[in-house]
Amino acid sequence: MRQRRTIVLVAGILVVALLVVLAVALARGRTTEDASATALGDPTAFELPLLQGGGTFRLVEHADGPVFVYFWASWCAPCAQEAPVIQRLAGEYRDRGYTFVGVNIWDAEQDARRFAEAQRLTFPLVTDPGGKTYLAYGVQTLPTAFVLRAGLQTDRKFIGALTEAQLREMLDRAGERR
């Protein structure tokens, strides 16, 4: 009986330690920008089903202008913080020839839909059911964003929550390099 109690206690401590490590990793809000980022794999092969239903988003169809590719999940607190900023700028920059697309990963589809509705996201949102896209882009944490300049060349990679000023700067730089 005492041995069983010890095993349960040790297992409980290990579970709590793991949860603390995960919580710290998510709460750190790691933010980095890599100006020389290059997506792994071929970004033009990006063809995913629309979360909003009915159809497929093909990245290659948007190669004539800058593209903002945003990897997110419904349970990601920084994703929820930056979603209103991304939504606001998506409308503004669409008129300037930019495309915004959100790639939902590591999420249940119904949770992703609820998040999109709650955040009032209207730019194209897709799911990555096989995980090939996020793996090809080397995404390891959320949120992660890429700005592709015309021709689908990676201009910037950003890990962590974006502020409006950071996102504007990244988008404007990609637009200048057309």
Question: Distance between CA 114 and CA 58 in Å, rounded?
Answer: 24
From its phi and psi, is residue 138 left (phi > 0), alpha (psi between -120 and 50) or beta? left
pLDDT over 70 at 150, yes or no: yes
pTM for this one?
0.76
pLDDT digits (tens, 9 = 90+) for 9-59: 545 554 444 443 344 343 333 344 444 344 444 555 689 999 987 899 999
pLDDT recorded at residue 5: 73
Question: Distance between CA 87 and CA 50 in Å, rounded?
Answer: 17
- 87 Cα distance to chain centroid: 13
